[in-house]
Amino acid sequence: MDKAAGGHPHPLTRLLSEAAEIFGELGFEIALGPEMESEYYNFDALNIPPLHPARDMWDTFWISQKSKVKNQNSKSGRMLLRTHTSPVQIRYMEKNKPPIRIISPGKVYRYEATDATHEAQFFQLEGLMIDKEVSLAHLRYVLRYFFDKLFDRKVASRFRPTYFPFVEPGLEIDMSCSSCGGGNIRCGLCKGAGWIEVMGAGLVHPKVLEAGGVDPRRYGGFAFGGGVDRLAMIKYGVPDIRLFTSADLRLTTQF
Ligand SMILES: [Zn+2]
């Protein structure tokens, strides 16, 4: 009889455990939250009240109101499949006093068509640091440390201003293209731009701190979030996000 084949960690599992280790070196603990969330934690508490136009930024799977499913932790409103891992920020702040340093990995859901770079379900990695006098310089240091260790090289990164309701100022984080090093118009990863968008981030909005029971006059902090699948695609050179859930063993046996 043939010897049974050995198991292999899935590339996403592998990337998540590496990320946990790197952030662990900086004193970040892991915090988790439910995938089925209430409208309150997913939107309202993150400074996205009902009818706020920013809600359109997240195409949401709503849970049918006829369903008997009830969440004991639901503060108010309708239930949904969380569109980001940011609700964990609120849940953690409600139960823990600053200083806070957490990362929160987990599945998130978007009501959208799938293609090579989009899935209706994917993994996100959230980070939150709350303390006295936390600035963008701290965010910059932490992310630089993370990228350099994860990709095992000096990774150039840049901040671009943008808008997210739960941070002020809000930023997109780009990293230098690992495939072409920049400038190759035929590069499938950056299309010649030399930069790849990998995260959203910013300084936590005072209203979000208040929703978590943290006094914004005494404390501040940064938050970031990015797609784990995207980081894994870049790190391992996987061309299509759908391969991660394809159950094709040729993918996992490489790891
Ligand atoms: Zn490139």
What distance in angstroms lies between residue 176's CA and the mean position of ligand 1's atoms?
A: 8
Categorize the per-residue pLDDT at 72 as very low, low, confident or very high, splitting at 50, 70 and 90: very low
- Residue-averaged pLDDT of the chain: 88
Query: Is residue 61's pLDDT more than 70?
Result: yes
Centre of ligand 1 to C-alpha 174, Å, is 12
Under 8 Å between Cβ of 62 and 78:
yes
What are the residue numbers of the active site? 58, 84, 110, 124, 167, 223
How far does the centroid of ligand 1 lie from the alpha carbon of residue 238, in Å?
Answer: 14
Which band of pLDDT confidence, cut at 50, 70 and 90, is reported for residue 133? very high
What is this structure's pTM?
0.89
Ligand 1 centroid distance, CA of 170 (Å): 25
Listed range (6-10, 69-73, 101-105) with the worst mean pLDDT: 69-73
Question: From ligand 1's centre to the CA of 227, what distance in Å?
Answer: 18
Distance from Cα 82 to the centre of ligand 1, integer Å: 32
Domains of the chain: 14-252 (3.30.930.10)
Residue with the bigger pLDDT between 65 and 196: it is: 196
pLDDT for 67 equals 53
Cα 149 to ligand 1 centroid, rounded to whole Å: 20
pLDDT digits (tens, 9 = 90+) for 163-192: 999 999 999 999 988 778 777 888 877 888
Mean pLDDT, range 100-110, rounded to an integer: 96
